[in-house]
């Protein structure tokens, strides 16, 4: 299996150093939507989808104003997953499966561009995103316009195997695992991929800044604020960050960990 690391949605929030941890306070910061494209023996698999064509062309329909003001997405069609897939010489229809860390708008935006793909995610996340009468944060984070076309949902219960001390892990495709990391949302997961003799864990939004996995964790204040504001269950989110630090400490020789929005982690692998 081969993995491509793609940025499927640049964001330029204000705050400079308060977001990036370095440089000027006055410059806009840079965040990415880190998406994996996996070449497998039978088809392509996307891990997360970033923003899609519909979001870029008609942002008013799916990207709520409150989120756009905070995140300031660049909205470049060339960055969407479908255009990235095509730029690599593939067709959108070659993508047979999508595996989602969660259904936040900046992760599920591309679903409409791959309408025939199976969409794997935790059953808990699908229930949280689609329950009727959503209010507050949930209305902003889960715009149902991104999946009104009726994706081929493949929800997975968090009961399954162990993986480096994480439990409830499900294999959704050969060598592609859904690893429950609940907290940022009610059903947030990581996605672990076996690449030769190493594992790559896409930890989604379970942490926002690479320094959070250091032995002495640190995070720029604006990202700490954003994580707190968007968290569904604080205790679970913080406990999972502890477990991720332990994973890096104990198994860093066999597992690489990336997240969704840190541009430095993306560049390290791209």
> Which residue lies nearest Zn ion, judged by its C-beta?
205
Q: How far is the CB of 33 from Zn ion (least distance, A)?
A: 7
Mark residues 168-207: x for contact with Zn ion by CB under 5 A, - for none: -------------------------------------x--
Buried b (16+ CB within 10 A) or exposed e, 7-38: bbbbbebebbbbbbbeeeeeeebbbbbbbbbb
Structure tokens at 170: 């499900």
* Strands lying side by side in the sheet with 2-7: 2-7, 34-40, 43-47, 95-99, 118-122, 152-156
- Interaction mask 95-114, Zn ion, x per CB under 5 A: ---------x-x--------
Distance CA 154, CA 141 (A): 20
- Please say which residue, 31 or 247, places its beta carbon nearer to Zn ion: 31
Q: Is 14 or 90 the residue whose CB approaches Zn ion more closely? A: 14
Query: Cβ closer to Zn ion: 193 or 223?
Result: 223
Residues 223-262, mask of contacts with Zn ion (x by CB under 5 A)? -------------------------------------x--
Between the two ends of the chain, the Cα-to-Cα distance in Å is 16
Count residues contacting Zn ion (CB under 5 A)? 4
Nearer to Zn ion, 198 or 267 (CB): 267
Between β-strands 95-99 and 43-47, what pairing exists: parallel, antiparallel or unpaired?
parallel
Q: Which residue, chain included where needed, has tokens 């992760």?
A: 107
CB of residue 174 vs Zn ion: minimum separation in angstroms? 27
- Tokens 């399954």 correspond to 160
Query: Cβ closer to Zn ion: 1 or 219?
Result: 219
CB closer to Zn ion, 1 vs 140: 140
CA atoms within 13 A on the CB side of 54: 21
Residues in contact with Zn ion by CB under 5 A are: 104, 106, 205, 260
């Amino acid at each position: 299996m081969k993995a491509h690391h793609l940025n499927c949605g640049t964001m330029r929030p204000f705050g400079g150093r308060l977001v990036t941890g370095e440089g000027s306070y006055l410059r806009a910061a840079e965040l990415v939507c880190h998406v994996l494209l996996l070449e497998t023996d039978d088809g392509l698999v996307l891990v997360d989808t970033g923003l899609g064509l519909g979001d870029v062309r008609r942002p008013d329909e799916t990207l709520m104003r409150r989120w756009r003001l905070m995140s300031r997405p660049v909205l470049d069609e060339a960055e969407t997953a479908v255009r990235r897939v095509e730029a690599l010489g593939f067709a959108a229809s070659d993508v047979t499966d999508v595996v989602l860390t969660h259904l936040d708008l900046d992760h599920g935006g591309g679903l409409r561009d791959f309408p025939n793909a199976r969409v794997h995610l935790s059953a808990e996340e699908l229930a949280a995103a689609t329950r009727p009468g959503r209010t507050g944060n949930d209305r902003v984070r889960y715009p149902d316009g991104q999946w009104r076309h009726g994706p081929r949902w493949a929800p997975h219960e968090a009961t399954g195997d162990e993986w480096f001390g994480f439990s409830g892990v499900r294999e959704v495709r050969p060598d592609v695992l859904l690893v429950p990391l609940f907290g940022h949302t009610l059903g947030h997961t990581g996605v672990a991929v076996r690449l030769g003799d190493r594992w790559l864990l896409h930890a989604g939004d379970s942490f926002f800044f690479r320094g959070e996995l250091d032995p002495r964790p640190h995070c720029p204040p604006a990202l700490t604020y954003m994580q707190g504001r968007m968290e569904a269950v604080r205790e679970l989110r913080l406990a999972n960050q502890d477990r991720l630090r332990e994973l890096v400490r104990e198994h860093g020789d066999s597992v690489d960990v990336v997240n969704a929005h840190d541009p430095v982690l993306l560049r390290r692998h791209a």
